[in-house]
Amino acid sequence: MGDQHEKQQIQPRADPGNVPAQSGACGSCALNATSTALDRQAGALGISPANPVPTDKRIYRLPVFTEQFCQALVDELENFEQSDMPKGRPNTMNNYGVLLNELGMDEPFLTPLRERLLPITALLYPELGGACLDSHKAFVVKYSLHEDLDLSSHYDNAEVTLNVSLGKEFTEGNLYFGDFNQDPSPVPKYIEVEHVVSRGLLHRGGQIHGALPIGSGERWNLIVWMRSSAVRNQLCPMCHRKPQLVEAEGFGDGFTEPQVQEELPQPVSATLG
């Protein structure tokens, strides 16, 4: 079962290209203390905040693949791109890239990857169903000088997003992050985050973000929009309403139908004759 939404494109409320990377330090000591405690626990799992200066944005960096694996995956995707097999667009905003379910990669590769991340997402994003991310949409996006150069500001159709840099070689093209969409501030603070090949970034799907233009080369990223049916069945994260379900294939948009209650035996009144 699913719903028609994908990425929600938004007008940047400040031109991220012109906004220098900000410290993003939170003014509240309590929040800083909480995020520092969380950062320490995450550090014990090999995960570090993506920004060297503490922020309230909850963006984390972690090792995901080897560089050799990233290279092999990109080679394979280039073969697929050059083939005449039918291909869809990765999503409503990126024009170039590959939908990984079209390559049959969901079951053998992406579901185990999502499940492997559960202890981490449970720790980092408990209120977003981080402990029960039960489906995903996964794709690779590609940027190059004569194709897409950048990606405008948006939030994802995901509770939690994993974004892994696969290479190849490129200059510039940093990611930028603004507010959480459900918690906008009057003057949003943007931070820039550099991607490192073979590393992943974890962020809330609702964290407004985009990618700055690359200066040269090709930039390929694996994006996994991870979804929690327990959370989104209550409220669609894209339109913030109770979801109206329509039939969909595969994981759809990650909504599930309520289980049909097993029919309970009806009480019967017996009359003695």
Ligand X SMILES: O=C(O)CCC(=O)C(=O)O
* Residue whose CB is less far from ligand X, 26 or 205: 205
Give the single-character DSSP code of 35. Answer: H
Cβ pair 140, 166 in contact under 8 A: yes
Nearest to 214 by CA among 165, 263, 252: 165
What is the contact surface with ligand X in residues (CB under 6 A)? Answer: 7, 91, 94, 141, 151, 156, 163, 175, 209, 211, 221, 223
Least distance (Å) between residue 232 CB and Fe ion: 16
Please give the backbone phi and psi of residue 164, each rounded to the nearest 5 degrees, phi first.
-110, 130
Least distance (Å) between residue 158 CB and ligand X: 8
Q: What is the CA radius of gyration of the chain?
A: 21
> Per 3-state DSSP, what percentage of the chain is helix, strand, and coil (rounded to 5)?
25, 25, 50
In the region spanning residues 80 to 99, those forming contacts with Fe ion, defined by CB under 5 A, are none
* Residue whose CB is less far from ligand X, 25 or 81: 81
Least distance (Å) between residue 151 CB and Fe ion: 7
Q: Which residue is nearest to Fe ion (CB)?
A: 156
* Residue whose CB is less far from ligand X, 201 or 231: 201
* Residue whose CB is less far from Fe ion, 6 or 156: 156
For 18-154, where are the alpha helices, taking DSSP H only?
29-44, 67-82, 111-124
Least distance (Å) between residue 184 CB and Fe ion: 17
Could you say which of ligand X, Fe ion, none residue 221 binds, taking C-beta under 5 to 8 angstroms by partner kind? Answer: ligand X
Q: Is 52 exposed, middle or buried (0-12, 13-18, 19+ CB in 10 A)?
A: exposed
Least distance (Å) between residue 108 CB and ligand X: 22
Give the single-character DSSP code of 267. Answer: P
* Residue whose CB is less far from ligand X, 7 or 57: 7
* Residue whose CB is less far from ligand X, 120 or 226: 226
Q: Is 250 exposed, middle or buried (0-12, 13-18, 19+ CB in 10 A)?
A: exposed
Could you say which of ligand X, Fe ion, none residue 198 binds, taking C-beta under 5 to 8 angstroms by partner kind? Answer: none
> How many other CB atoms are found less than 10 A from the CB of residue 188?
17
Q: Which helix (H) or strand (E) holds 13?
A: none
Least distance (Å) between residue 157 CB and ligand X: 9
Q: Report CA dihedral (198, 204, 208, 210) to the nearest 10 degrees.
A: 10
* Residue whose CB is less far from ligand X, 141 or 160: 141
In the region spanning residues 105 to 164, those forming contacts with Fe ion, defined by CB under 5 A, are 156
Could you say which of ligand X, Fe ion, none residue 175 binds, taking C-beta under 5 to 8 angstroms by partner kind? Answer: ligand X
Least distance (Å) between residue 161 CB and ligand X: 6
| Size (the chain), residues | 273
- Give the interface with Fe ion as residue ranges (CB under 5 A): 156
